[in-house]
Amino acid sequence: MKKTIKVLVTDPLEKEGIQILKDAGFEVAESGKLAPEKLCEIIEVYDAVIVRSATKITRDVIKRGANLKIIGRAGVGLDNIDIEAATLAGIIVMNAPEGNTVSVAEHTVAMLMALARNVSAADRSLKNGQWEKKKYTGTELYGKTLGIIGLGRIGRRVAAVAGSLGMKVLGCDPYLDKNLLDGTGITVVSLPGLLQQSDFITLHIPLSDSSRHMIGESAFEGMKDGVSIINCSRGGVVDEDALYKYLSSGKVKGASIDVFEKEPPDAENPLLKMEQVIVTPHLGASTKEAQVNVAQQLASQIVSALTEKEVKNAVNMPSLDKKSMEKLQGYLSLGEKLGILLKQMSGGGIKKIKVVYSGDIINYDLSLLRANIIIGLLKDFEKVNPVNASLILKEKGIGIEEDRRESGGEFTNLITAAVEDGREISAAGTIIREGEARIVKIDGFSVEAAPEGYLLVCYNEDKPGIMGHIGTILGEKGVNIASMTLGRSKKGGQAITVLNLDQGIDNEVLTRIEEFPAIHSVKLVRI
């Protein structure tokens, strides 16, 4: 009987997302916000858990999630999830980065305009019976410079609106593909350059160890006098104590803040009492449209991952677009089989892996292929998968080197992998007609063997009688040879014999085969 997939939703999720999960046949439980201790008590039975920003998925929760395969964040920020623990456990962490792009960008622009025109302070003044036109004279955005830190979807959307207002847009993001900026009108500069030139600075980056307090005292010192700050990304990327200091000195003219280091902020937080500071309670993604979009996107991703094995927007594992997956599908399986072959050929004790990708596959993202090769090598490790493969490899102290070459020689594409365990053992494979995988080289010898079932690999001298010897022994045991391939360096020199067998053989048979004088060693590999 097929097991029902169970999903726990701990923070509010729009009904449209819940319905997608139910329509897929999933069993959905909506618990509301849970403390980690309570979550630990119930998480064991669930295949996936969906959170927003309130519920914390801690290391202890992950340890108790025996069946947990996916942690889904209905939104972008992931600072409430222990990604490292999830990765080590082989659990996919995914978010929904596209669903709230428009809403957050629009809120950022609203905060920018409100700041430039003193909307918040003027509103309070007028409601208190004052008419202070001169006091709240604003600043035009036209011709001013907006600096955008973080040029992802939201940052680029903000840039598009700012450009239409006649603003000069600077941006910095060391991790972004520059090709995504073609036609955006964004001038890419260094962070110091952005700080020095910008009249307004807006942040659109995740919170991490490296980004925490990115905008601190040294950053404020590098800004021009009278700058204004907008933060609709994550609390903590701006040092609030430093911001208060530079607002008080007048170095920073004003700030619009949607996110805080502590949410909700303490009532005594001095930023809440400053007239030149506009605050909102983390409203960036708080539109009906964004909530529905995020819920639908995340739910659809979870269904695809758990039913079709198609993973999108995972933050801790490689994922491929449809075109890349179609191109690389056969090579992904081949990569794992190469890893299995080399692991069994080496007998363990691997210290280093070298992989060379050749042919037109080098034009694609090969991170998932690399992960599959590692999976094959670590096959005996519990729960190794594309999520944790690289991390486990690192923890085992095994190094990996990769290279890409335009030509695969006689093959359109070729994957060559080698391991070191005191000596180097290598194997190369490709995909031939009708998507069939083949091992085409072992330790430099040309062969042609199907990477499936049982492979008998003999290192021998190129002398007569070897196949007769092997065939006789296997025939006596009733073992059928499905196919056979021979490779040699030169006539009468060192050679290799590889046979696909219909069934396995025991050590006694291997010993008998190895007794032939011209056979140096024999290995049975099961793929």
In the 3-class helix/strand/coil scheme, how is 176-206 assigned residue by residue? CCHHHHCCCCCEECCHHHHHHHCCEEEECCC
Catalytic site includes residue 263: yes
Cα-Cα-Cα-Cα dihedral sign, residues 154, 155, 160, 166:
positive
DSSP H/E element including 231: strand 227-231
Catalytic residue among 132, 221, 263, 275: 263
Catalytic residue among 234, 370, 469, 512: 234
Task: Return the residue matching tokens 């006596």.
Answer: 476
- In this structure, which amino acid lies at residue 369? L
Beta-carbon contacts of 89 under 8 Å, excluding residues fewer than 6 positions away, are 62, 63, 65, 68, 383, 388
Are the C-beta atoms of residues 489 and 463 closer than 8 Å to each other? Answer: no
Distance of CA 357 to the CA centre of its chain: 21
Are the C-beta atoms of residues 162 and 113 closer than 8 Å to each other? Answer: no
Closest CA to 48 of 16, 13, 79: 13
Cα-Cα-Cα-Cα dihedral sign, residues 358, 359, 361, 365:
positive
Question: What's the CA dihedral at 227, 228, 230, 231 to 10 degrees?
Answer: 60
Catalytic site includes residue 514: no
Are the C-beta atoms of residues 353 and 401 closer than 8 Å to each other? Answer: yes
Catalytic residue among 107, 153, 282, 512: 282
**First vs last Cα of the chain: how many Å apart?**
28
DSSP symbol at 307: I
Q: Count of CB atoms within 10 A of residue 86's CB?
A: 25
Cα-Cα-Cα-Cα dihedral sign, residues 507, 511, 514, 520:
positive
Q: Which residues carry out catalysis?
A: 234, 263, 282
